[in-house]
Amino acid sequence: MNRTALSPALPLPPATGGRREGDHPGRRSWVRAHAPLPLESGGTLPGVQLAYEKWGQMAPDGSNAVLVLHALTGDSHVAGPAEPGHPTAGWWDALVGPGRALDTDRWFVVAPNVLGGCQGSTGPASRRAGGARWGGDFPYLTVRDQVAAEAELADALGIGRWAAVIGGSMGGMRALEWAVGRPERTGALLVLAASAAASAEQIAWGSLQISAIRSDPGWRDGHYHDAAPGEGPHRGLGLARSIAHVTYRSEPELAARFGGASQPGEDPWHGGRYRVESYLDHHAAKLVHRFDAGSYVTLTGAMNGHDVGRGRGGVAQALRRARMPALVAAIDSDRLYPPAQQAELAALLPGADRLRTVESPHGHDGFLTETDQVGSLVQELLPGRPDPGR
């Protein structure tokens, strides 16, 4: 991104838009691991903590607990307004609450901020032993590492088995990893707009975004977190967001909304922007004020390495482990995680009878925008789960 992060409507971008020590806690609670977390790469990560939010009341035996997992730039704030501690409203707010698909009069809903994230969980912006920030020394994480940390959260909460694990996009990858790696702890599964393994094209798009951030002079090999406002890698992070956002939406939607029109008052022939450029600039500028570039690199790297079949005899053999009731849903206009990938999942998961399709003009982002359709899938998945009987 060349000009977009320095929006006149927003203050100078901070070195990191992630949560900092002393910020308002919002609705978050925290769990800290007692021992270093073993990583799939062979190392360990000490001092791990996960931020999480919860809604509803847990049954004495934990049988009504539902795990909801966020996507790349999401966080634990699934439901609720933008408020102190939470710069944006809940990303699935229409789904969580009394009488909603995830009825909090019945279900105990838990949403963690992913390991490697920047909204309260351990990530590159966190301080390590001695007080220095991890920065560029933060270790490579896989989706399995992230789920291992979430399993420790479940242990700390006294939840031996989730009634359901639900997620879309990166959250869907983690949901699938829960079902394959810990089937005894996954009562039911809903995967939206995700695949069993990252494809070459998905890795290519992710690698371009990582390169955009690392090419920013403000990146400083990942050690930028204490830089002055305006001196962090906000241009690279904004460019990464713009690249990603094009893949998140559909071509027909962009054509209908923007076409080839120029931004009002600007002439693309003389340094101005097209309307679609202004749209991308707007979303990029918002992200750099609420997200961390190091977390973006860490989480995108984990998504690039996603493969439930690694070390398990391949995808088909690995998915046979997941025998719980399962729903797999595709977004019909998704060009980043095309429906053929979810069709493969639905065919290979023993507990999935057929592929469900969410109709949306919004592309991959349809798993966030089509809350009525997603809510119907949640209600289809959950009625057979044990009633907490409170």
Confidence of residue 1 (pLDDT cuts 50, 70, 90): very low
Q: Which of 7, 292, 364, 365 is catalytic?
A: 364
Residues 6+ apart with CB under 8 A from 240: 208, 209, 210, 212, 213, 293, 296, 300
Confidence of residue 11 (pLDDT cuts 50, 70, 90): confident
Confidence of residue 383 (pLDDT cuts 50, 70, 90): confident
Query: What is the per-residue pLDDT for 387?
Result: 46
263 vs 388: which has the higher pLDDT: 263
Question: What region does 322 belong to: left with phi over 0, alpha with psi -120 to 50, or beta?
Answer: beta
Query: What is the per-residue pLDDT for 386?
Result: 47
Confidence of residue 2 (pLDDT cuts 50, 70, 90): very low
- Mean pLDDT across the chain: 95
Q: Assess whether 250 carries a catalytic annotation.
A: no
Structure tokens at 242: 């713009």
Structure tokens at 108: 């105990």
* CATH architecture for segment(s) 29-381: 3-Layer(aba) Sandwich (3.40)
Question: What does the DSSP assignment read for 228-256?
Answer: PTT-SSHHHHHHHHHHHHHHHS-HHHHHH
Q: Assess whether 169 carries a catalytic annotation.
A: yes
Q: Which of 7, 169, 195, 333 is catalytic?
A: 169
Exposure string over 350-385, b if 16+ CB within 10 A, otherwise e? ebbeebbebebbbbbbbbbebbebbbebbeebbeeb
Please give the backbone phi and psi of residue 102, each rounded to the nearest 5 degrees, phi first: -95, 80
Cα three-residue angle 131-23-125, rounded to 5 degrees: 40
The model's pLDDT over 312-336, given as tens digits with 9 standing for 90+, comes to 999 999 999 999 999 999 999 999 9
Collapsing DSSP states into helix, strand and coil, what is residue 318?
helix
Q: Rounded distance, CA 125 to CA 122, Å?
A: 8
Query: What is the per-residue pLDDT for 388?
Result: 40
Name which of 285, 281, 89, 73 is nearest 168 in CA terms. 73
Residue 290 amino acid letter: R
% residues pLDDT > 90 (the chain)? 94
The model's pLDDT over 74-95, given as tens digits with 9 standing for 90+, comes to 999 999 999 999 989 999 999 9
Q: Which of 145, 292, 307, 334 is catalytic?
A: 334
Query: What is the per-residue pLDDT for 389?
Result: 39
Q: What is the mean pLDDT of residues 364-385?
A: 93
Confidence of residue 390 (pLDDT cuts 50, 70, 90): very low
